[in-house]
Amino acid sequence: MSAPALEPDARARRNTELGLLILAVLLAVGAYALVGLGLEGRVPAGVAGYGLLLAAGYVGAHLVVRYLAPHADPVFLPAATLLTGLGFAVIWRLDQDLAVAQTSWLLFGLLLFAATLFVIRDHRQLDAYTYTIGLLGIALLLLPILPGIGQEVRGARLWVDLGPLRFQPAEIGKVLIVIFLASYLNARKELLAVATRRLGPIALPEPKHLAPLLLAWGLSLMILFLQKDLGSSLLFFGLFVVMLWVATARGAYLLMGLLLFSAGSFLAYQTFGHVQDRVTIWLHALDPQYLQAESFQVAQSLFALGTGGIAGTGLGQGHPDFIPDAHTDFVFSAVGEELGLLGSTALLMLFVILVARGFRAAVARSDADGFGQLLAAGLATILALQSFVIIGGVTRLIPLTGITLPFVSYGGSSLVANFVLLALLIRVSATASKEGPA
């Protein structure tokens, strides 16, 4: 039985996606080939197999979108493809064994991407499972604190070991938390938007309606205290404040969120030695007394970015291996050294495109579908905050936190979760484009 014919608009979107996808795959394979030329003076022997694998995987993902979400935004999948391909090239340049593992996670992520679109034919069906999804998300966030399975790595308790499988449950937990918040806030946004009390110049709703904000603050502090993970704590609290602001359009929540964040940051600084160390490194990264020990990693990141200059040293021609953990936390610095300011800017623009298209999908659902609006805005906010936190850390704009750069850094948990996130954004955008603005 043949597939149903697409409407002209849907066909144009999918053809645009396919063209961009082919370009993204060619650029990804080209980056891999250039790394081999830079390192060894020859194209890697596996470049043809890698190209065919990428083509098969992403064309398969395109076909899934073509038949299950034909009206979806055509830019999401190609942008993620190029980010992932560039990340693979940098990871292979640093550690070929890790690159092989990353490829396996990529294929698994594409499989879950397709499964998400197949199971969730309309994002609004998730609105019926508010508290189930919320409880599951919180359970995943707190799972690493359980004795026996939770593992502490480099001061942060983020990992879970289940037999041969090690993963970060918070990566998929963040997606579930967004779904829960979208459903919860959509059901209560009118109550949260009505101001009946005043705290000085700030108009506030009834105290009982402020409980979610205080609960989110408490949860972020719990993550910080129990898991010693400053990055995730910042990510989840910032996510909630932004979604609350989107739901109510009240700037008072942004101000309250900023005050609570400042109070939490001060408390964390006074309580945890590793938070004090991060701030000290941020302020004194290039001071001689810290350069060879505490701030070595950040200093090497800055040196790499400076070495890259405008056009970079060329793929395979730099020394990103001088940076500890360049394949995870500091992958942006590796890109900055070998592709320079131009390549770094291109990478940032890909994230800007993903975030902007996510908010575009949210705006398209603003009147017709409050849940879809908040879901798309929350998913886009995750990408924006996560990218800002890690890039800001490695460029010394803010204190460093241990968060991966979406689609680019090495890490199976992060890559798989981000492809699920991408599938949900595509689903919301497909509904928005098909139904049109209200």
Residue 244's pLDDT is: 85
Is 256 contained in some domain?
no
173 versus 379: the higher-pLDDT residue is 379
Is 97 contained in some domain?
yes
d(CA 414, CA 251): 32
Q: Structurally, how many domains does the chain consist of?
A: 1
Q: pLDDT-derived band of residue 1, with 50, 70 and 90 as boundaries?
A: very low
- Kindly state the average pLDDT of the residues 62-85: 96
Q: pLDDT-derived band of residue 160, with 50, 70 and 90 as boundaries?
A: confident
Question: 379 lies in which domain range?
Answer: 8-119+272-435
d(CA 117, CA 424): 7
Is 63 contained in some domain?
yes
d(CA 46, CA 43): 8
Residue 239's pLDDT is: 87
- Whether pLDDT at 438 is above 50: no
d(CA 136, CA 345): 37
Q: pLDDT-derived band of residue 141, with 50, 70 and 90 as boundaries?
A: confident
Is 53 contained in some domain?
yes
- Whether pLDDT at 191 is above 80: no
Q: pLDDT-derived band of residue 358, with 50, 70 and 90 as boundaries?
A: very high
Is 305 contained in some domain?
yes
Give the range among 111-125, 137-151, 212-226, 279-293 with minimum mean pLDDT: 212-226
d(CA 58, CA 182): 29
Q: pLDDT-derived band of residue 66, with 50, 70 and 90 as boundaries?
A: very high
pLDDT in tens, 18-54: 999 999 999 999 999 999 999 888 999 889 999 999 9
Phi, psi of 75 (to 5 degrees): -100, -25
Is 27 contained in some domain?
yes
pTM of the shown model: 0.91
User: In the predicted model, what is the mean pLDDT of the chain?
Assistant: 86
